[in-house]
């Protein structure tokens, strides 16, 4: 999994993921989100537009990030999941827990 972190104009941290989010790479996402929260970003969007695969460990990392953001009064949202990721979210009922948006820019509008 590759990643980069950028910021939107309103201070939202965007974590762009590419590749596979699985047991091997999940800890890296946890670390990146924790670092963003520690640096003062409590609103985080995980951009999944270039992610090709996610497993239960990857879902666990997203939930861990959600908890970390909410503990400091923020939120974690996901953007642009592909069909495989959407299916995993649906099968695990995680679409009820993780807010899904079409793009990172729309995740914290309104």
Mean pLDDT throughout 72-85? 96
Going by pLDDT thresholds of 50, 70 and 90, the confidence category of residue 110 is low
pTM score over 0.85: yes
The yes-or-no verdict on residue 60 having pLDDT over 90 is yes
Fold of 2-101: Transcription Regulator spoIIAA (3.30.750)
Bridge partners, 7 (sequence order): 13
Max intra-chain CA distance, the chain = 36
pLDDT, tens digit (0-9, with 9 covering 90-100), for 21-59: 999 999 999 999 999 999 999 999 999 999 999 999 999
39 and 7 Cβ atoms separated by less than 8 Å: no
Q: What is the mean pLDDT of residues 65-80?
A: 97
Instruction: Report the mean per-residue pLDDT for the chain.
Output: 95
């Amino acid at each position: 999994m590759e990643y980069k972190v950028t910021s939107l104009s309103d201070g939202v941290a965007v974590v762009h993921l590419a590749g596979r989010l699985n047991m091997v790479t999940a800890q890296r996402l946890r670390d990146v989100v924790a670092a963003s929260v520690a640096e003062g970003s409590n609103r985080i969007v995980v951009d999944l537009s270039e992610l090709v695969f996610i497993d239960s460990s990857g879902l666990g990392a997203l939930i861990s990030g959600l908890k970390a953001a909410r503990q400091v009064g923020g939120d974690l949202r996901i953007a642009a999941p592909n069909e495989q990721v959407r299916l995993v979210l649906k099968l695990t009922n995680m679409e009820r827990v993780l807010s899904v948006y079409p793009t990172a820019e729309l995740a914290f509008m309104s």
